[in-house]
Structure 1
Amino acid sequence: MTPQQSGRIRVAAKDVVVIGGGIGGLATSALLAREGHSVTLLEKRGQVGGRAGSWEQGGFRFDTGPSWYLMPEVIDHFFRLMGTSAAEQLDLVKLDPGYRVVFEEGGAVDVPADREAVTKLFESLEAGAGEQLSKYLDSAEDAYEIAKKRFLYSTFQSFLPFVRPDVLARLPRIASLLLQPLQSFVEKRFQDPRIQQILGYPAVFLGSSPFDAPSMYHLMSHLDLDDGVLYPMGGFSTLIDGMRRVAVAAGVEIRTDADVVSIDTEPRTPGRSPLDRRAATVRGVTYRTNGTTTSIGADIVVSAADLHHTETTMLPADLQTYPEGYWQKRVPGPSALLLYLGVRGSLPQLEHHTLLFTTDWRDNFGRIFGKETSVPSPASLYVCRPSATDGSVAPAGHENVFVLVPIPADVTIGRGGLERGGDARVEDLADAVIGQISEWAGIPDLAERIVVRRSYGPQDFADDLNAWRGTSLGPAHILKQSAFFRGSNRSAKVGNLFYAGSSTVPGIGIPMCLISAELIVKRLRGDTSTGPLPEPAAG
């Protein structure tokens, strides 16, 4: 039995400070405490969860961010590393249909929960598309499995992933998938624009556009069309609750309302390896709570906060691996207009997940990601109605509605607010979006039935989450910002300073942030393997 399988500590126990209590920070804290380290988690806000927060008003309970439960095996793997399981921590249900798509030119499609039914649906939309989809999903599954086995769990400390026989055998295909945009990949296989949009939209989950994201990311279709979409009863706050429980049980000390202002360093001790050119090493962090400044010592610091914010505000210029000049050449993912709506009466016109797609697909994404950006109008957008599945999130006789509209990462668009209390541009956009949903989904009295309304804009992402340029997700998953091209999870200038979360490898989304936490463990262990850490034997 290896030390990993037995759960023995692989490195000497250290004092660790983790900055940021989102998914990445919570997971990192929990895993490092499980390793035997003494871990303190510092979170700027009053509650942990980051983007995956919770907000309550008038008997409604809203998830403030993530609402698609994908890659369930990655989430379960995290909990198993902590000695439990997703089944023990969460009450998961499978959604059927997985989601509904409403098209600008009229009509709607319900995407069912199993592959055979999806194949029949595609065939009904385009002759021959059913057989083509089977090939497409086989390819997506293969891409997903090789990514999970060789790339997603790699720290890229070595190029070992690229010389494995299973990777070498696929190199020509991998190269093609990396160099060809997802939209082109889909267009070569399907003619119906509705199918193209269903298969291309998952690029948005990666903070990108189907016209820019590499076609390697067609693997996303395996997740929703093959595996299906799950929902944790009680909302995504139950996932955060579960993560917090296992972190605290492992010994993590969580301090909220703790706004870190600096990562404190000291000159590097002479005599280190000549290959390690880091000029300094961490000695702790300084944070503010209610106007009081406190310093806390640490042997290791992991920042799961926004990487731009960490590097450009918490470190002096000479110790920044990613200074402002680096970010000027990066591409942000989109920001978003978020709406939290409590609605009187029922809304059968909306599924648990509903997507509204504009006809001019290229123009919609060009406005968000082009050189000259603007807010699309009308916009492709996403609506979540969790009360379709979960009666606990809204009062009896009411619906809980969450709306996400991808828009440019531009803080000048403004802030949102409660009951039309946001900036005028944000509230005007919110009015237009409510009107669009009303018209396209056939809910003529939607605006009149809203009893709770809160908007959230790009400036809110910057203020609350220190998000670079107000992005809602992080750096976009285009080729030059994916895999080993993405920000490293280790500082090149400061020893024992590491990074987790959506800004670094492997990327955006709940599963990726969980994996980023595991990569910190692998860094500290000196583990250059390319797959998930072995799970402890079941008790």
Structure 2
Amino acid sequence: MKKQIHIIGSGFSSLAASCYLAKAGYEVQVFEKNATIGGRSRQLLRDGFTFDIGPTWYWMPDVFEKFFADFDKTPADYYDLERLDPAYEVYFDKKDSIIIPGNLDAIYEIFEKEEKGSSKHLKSFLESAKYNYDVSINDLVYKPGVSPLELVTPVTIGKITQFFSTIRNEVRKKIKSKKLIQILEFPVLFLGAKPSNTPAFYNFMNYADFGLGTWHPKGGMYKVIEAMVSLATSLGVQFKTNANVEEIVVDNKGKATGIVVDGDFISSEIVLSGADYHHTETLLPTKYRQYSEKYWSKKTFAPSSLLFYVGFDKKLKNVCHHTLFFDTDFDVHAKTIYDTPSWPNEPLFYASFPSITDDSFAPNGKEAATFLIPLAPGIEDTPRIREYYFNLIIKRLEELTNQSVKESILFKESFCVNDFIKDYNSYKGNAYGLANILTQTAFLRPKIKSKKVENLFFTGQLTVPGPGVPPSLISGKIASDQILKNHKNETVI
């Protein structure tokens, strides 16, 4: 008889873990509180429009390839990928933008045009970034975060100074253009921290950006979820939606014996949670929780977000599939996220117009748009505030791109702090998990394996390796490896 594993949540990390564990011979069931699989990566369908509710960026394609290769598959077996060219556009002022091309040589030309001599510095910077990327992806990010010795290798010893310098310091050593600096500092936002707090070693995100490029799966990021569900199902994984896990049951010996789902007890031999780590521990008796409320309150969380999903009745001009609006002071905005949690007066924002690339996102002649303002988690969230910021960014969009769009809005829907809490049990409504700052890296993150409850494990963006879709895939593999290692002497079937 197969050994049972019950997984809480169905995001990228849970789906990845479910595939590895089913392949290893376990009977795997996934419990999702919402009506659809995918965790934070869901779809909004309305009036012929399609929106990715969660992630919209497809970076680090090699991580996806590595995942599917572990099952003798490729992404192409499930979805079509297109490398975006241009990758994205960054607005700095009215009619003043830089378009980032889809190939490296063209990017060097853009930099050189903006600041003479900068392409030489960029090449050197990206050589270091590629080296760090290869070290990270081929080794470090797959470590379970058990011991500080995981980070001690001949390579990392030689790079030790990069853990005590910052992205901001490294970027600004040679390049002076404020615009180019902002472009180079932008990718670390995916790690959920300020460039001034992010170790220089994480410049590998710049290689992910410029070297590996920005991609689009036809049909959107939810096609990746559908691919993983298809793979998992073929391996025997069972999914239960509208299934809210209310309790993790622990016996008097400190062993997880099952879960309570919508009032019903389900016996389990192993429990793996891909749900919010803090929330998962509230499902346990207090004495079995590893981390106190004080612990969580002192952690640096990645931002929450105010998101708008908007249908326009016309095609928009002067924007790219991914468009960043950096026409205000990032440092001032960042302080409202990390230092004094509050609503920003002049926020930076991001917009995705996937229907520019993929006509499946909007009816003919119309445009689908997602707008995102990064915010501090835990701040007040009301309909009045949401409406104020929607009008603010739409006005900025019109001014910066030199077009009128407000009267062309067919509908809009929003998603913010309260929704992250309601839909995902997210701590303070954070969107991306724990920030990857030095004191929250690797072994300093919450543990994959519970220290207090036998047979309870965790995966996702609050544990190793960190925020983002590719790291979540990796987290699922790490968690499954730890489960297999923990039970290596047991008969699975």
Q: TM class by shorter-chain length?
A: over 0.9
The residue that corresponds to 1:20 in the other structure is: 9
Q: How big is the shift at 1:183? A: 1.5
**Alpha-carbon contact 2:187-2:209 (below 8 Å) kept:** no
Indicate if the aligned counterparts of 2:312 and 2:366 stay in contact, CA closer than 8 A: yes
Give the partner amino acid of 2:427.
Answer: W
Aligned pair 1:64/2:53, yes or no? yes
Q: Is the 8 A contact 2:44 2:53 kept in 1?
A: yes
* Alpha-carbon distance change, 267 to 137 in structure 1, aligned in 2, over 3 angstroms: same
2:305 to 333, 336, 340: 336
With 93-102 and 81-90 compared, the bigger mean Cα shift is at 81-90
- Stretches of structure 1 lacking an aligned partner (at least 5 in a row): 1-11, 269-279, 415-422, 528-539
Q: Give 2:389's match in structure 1, choosing from 404, 429, 440.
A: 429
Asked whether 1:459 is paired with 2:433, we answer no
Please give the alpha-carbon distance, in whole angstroms, between the structure 2 residues aligned to 1:426 and 1:498. Answer: 37
- For residues 342 and 151 of structure 2, what CA distance do their matches in structure 1 show? 40
Q: Deviations over 1:117-160 (max 9, x none)?
A: 11111111111100000000001011111112331000133455
What SS does structure 1 have at the residue aligned with 2:34? Answer: coil
Q: Does the alignment pair 1:285 with 2:259?
A: yes
Report what 1:261 is aligned to: 246
CA RMSD after TM alignment: 1.5
What is the alpha-carbon distance in structure 2 between the residues aligned to residue 345 and residue 104 of structure 1? 24
User: In the alignment, does 2:350 pair up with 1:378?
Assistant: no
Asked if residue 399 in structure 1 is aligned to residue 367 in structure 2, the reply is: yes
Look up the equivalent residue of 1:119 and give its one-letter code: Y
Shift of 1:29: 1.3
Identity of paired residues, percent? 34
Whether 1:153 aligns to 2:123 is no
Q: Return the offset for 1:490.
A: 0.9
Residues 371-429 of structure 1 deviation map (CA, whole Å, 9 limit, x = unaligned): x2222232111110100110011011100101111011124223xxxxxxxx1111111
Out of 166, 175, 178, the residue aligned to residue 190 of structure 1 is 175
Matched, 1:494 2:453: yes
1:295-349 residue CA offsets vs partner (Å, 9 max, x unmatched): 11111100000001111x2011100012212102111111111010111111131
**Which stretch has the larger CA shift, 468-477 or 207-216?**
207-216
CA 1:159/1:484 → structure 2, altered by over 3 Å: closer, same or farther? closer
Alignment of 1:112-191 (within 5 A): 112-159=101-148, 161-168=150-157, 170=158, 173=159, 175-191=160-176
> How many angstroms apart in 1 are the aligned matches of 2:224 and 2:233?
14
Work out whether residues 4 and 28 of structure 2, in 8 Å CA contact, stay in contact via their aligned partners in 1.
yes
Normalization by structure 1: what TM-score? 0.88
Q: Quick one: which of 173, 184, 201 aligns to 1:216? A: 201
Query: What CA distance in whole angstroms lies between the structure 2 residues aligned with 1:161 and 1:439?
Result: 50
Q: Spell out, residue by residue over 1:165-215, the C-alpha distance to the aligned partner (whole angstroms, 9 max, x if none).
A: 3333x2xx3x32222222122111210000110011112111112122222
**Which position in structure 1 is the counterpart of 2:81?**
92
> What is the CA distance between 1:243 and its match in structure 2?
0.7
Matched, 1:295 2:261: no
Confirm or deny: 8 A CA contact 1:44 1:259 kept in the other structure. yes
* 1:58/1:452 contact within 8 Å kept: no
Q: What do the CA deviations read for 1:71-107 (whole angstroms, capped 9, x no partner)?
A: 1111111112223111111100010011001113650
Counterpart residue number, 1:230: 215
In 1, Cα distance between the equivalents of 2:302 and 2:152? 31
Distance 2:214 2:469 in 1: 14
- Name whichever of 429-438 and 232-241 sits farther off: 429-438
CA positional deviation for 1:524? 2.4
Aligned-partner Cα distance in 2 for 1:310–1:162:
28
- Aligned partner letter, 2:415: Y
